[in-house]
Amino acid sequence: MVESAAEIIERVGKQKPAVEHQITYDSSSETLEPVYFWVLNFMNNLFGGKVEKLVDNFSSSPGSGHFAELSQKKTIMQDNVMKTLGAVNQVIKSIINIIYDLKDFEIRLSYYTDAKSNDRNKADAAMLGLKQIWMDNVDIKRGRGSINMLAQDLSFITLRDAFMSANSISEVKKLDLNERVIRILVPRIEEFLKWKDLSEQELEKRFNIEKNYLKSQINTLQLYSRWVKPYLKAAAQLEMNSDMDKNPALVTAFNTILLQLTLFGKNKFDFEEAILTNALPNGVKKPKRDYYSCVIVDFSFQGIPQKYGQHYVFGGRAVVNFKAYALSQDEVDALYQELKKADIVDVFKLIEGSTTESLDELKKDIDHFLNKGKLEEEAEKAEKEKDVNPFSALFSFINIKSKEKKEAEKKKGEIDIKKIKKDSYVESIVRNLAKKQAIETCFNVYDVYKKAHGMASHDNPYE
């Protein structure tokens, strides 16, 4: 069973409601929406327009028309998601292939760069590599007239070694070779030198084209991700809550619907104002944690879907529970964390796994090809701005460790529920004051609703 917000608060913060009120509104001839929106609008006035919807679950009986219509809408959304995810997968494959091609181009271009090096050994090694590439890809097309075949089949034993050692026509003529070998070698060396210049230009051109294509593919992938998220979210929202199927009010053949909604409003406790109003004595040190006066309103609807035009309206029975809490910042964060685990946000892991995580795996290569210049500039700038203080080196190791620790904690980002600290003496007083405010606010929502709808009410017992 999916936990409610109140159950999570009780489990996480060991906090039970400071006060609880309930209203039951039963009318099959009137719709349920006015009940929800009246409470929502009134709470927004009390909480500065920052009321949040924590839970939004529903389940329809399989035999109802509402179930059939929502199932059709969900199928359409799922089809759109699958089509876009298919396009995402194709783009990712394309990015991987482009990166492999760019690595090959980079290796090939490194030969041309090294061939111009002032280091004689590096330049010679690069020229030997280029000659081998030329013989394997260009000269081999001559068939029996290629250098390798001439050396192998026609006994031009010195031809291959002479070609590998000479880097210009003048060097060829200085070699101690017979005329037949020189006549073959001179045009081959000239052809190789022309090929070296032209192939370098062509490789650089293709390398730049591939880099631009990689950039466009990454932009396309990000665009597809942005497109698919609304459909993914809508498909998840249209899924019914299977935990509600065992509810006896949901009968297969009936035309019924169950709704669960939870509104959450919180006001930060004003510590300074409490001191000014003498609720707290002067000189009390402000606690490190913030505290909030919170009101949770749970709606449980049992409705009868009735179609009017293109939409459904719901009449039926509404049970509304009003609960007041005083929560610390840690408990509020833990509440959001626990709700998120069961929320539809988890559905986005599907698209995150196929886009963001995939790009993270390739990030090093992508940055190498697309942001190489920028990264070098940033590194150079950081080097220039480095602290010249002679003592900074002594503390650099500590600073690095501290930074890594903070980044690790930030990356982890999860609260250990078992390690939430208990209230100190001052914090317990602040919590009680925040609890008092929450009780009054909770009663106001409950009482004003009853009065606004002509129901019996009574004086505020908490004043």
pLDDT tens digits for range 165-195: 888 888 888 887 788 888 888 888 888 889 9
In the prediction, which pLDDT does 177 show?
78
Residue 244 lies in a domain: no
Percent of the chain with pLDDT over 70: 75
In the prediction, which pLDDT does 253 show?
60
CA distance 51 to 41: 9
- Average pLDDT in the 373-383 region? 54
In the prediction, which pLDDT does 264 show?
92
Residues 43 and 112 in one domain: no
Residue 249 lies in a domain: no
Residues 228 and 260 in one domain: no
In the prediction, which pLDDT does 40 show?
92
Residues 284 and 422 in one domain: yes
Q: How many domains does the chain have?
A: 2
- Of 353 and 432, which is predicted with more confidence? 432
Alpha helices in 328-371 (DSSP H): 329-341, 348-354, 356-370
Residues 268 and 392 in one domain: yes
In the prediction, which pLDDT does 117 show?
86
CB 445 within 8 Å of CB 267: no
In the prediction, which pLDDT does 442 show?
92
Domain that holds residue 421: 5-61+255-452
- pTM for the structure as a whole: 0.57
Residues 18 and 87 in one domain: no
Q: Interior CA angle at 292 toward 288 and 294, to 5°? A: 160
- Going 461 to 39 to 344 to 242, the CA torsion angle's sign is positive
Residue 246 lies in a domain: no
Lowest mean per-residue pLDDT among 43-57, 240-254, 264-278: 240-254
- Average pLDDT in the 411-421 region? 64
Residues 228 and 259 in one domain: no
Residues 52 and 91 in one domain: no
Residues 188 and 306 in one domain: no
- Average pLDDT in the 95-113 region? 88
- Model confidence at 232: pLDDT above 50: yes
Q: Would you place residue 68 in the very low, low, confident or very high pLDDT band (cuts 50, 70, 90)?
A: low
Burial class of residue 243 (count of CB atoms within 10 Å of its CB; 0-12, 13-18, 19+): middle
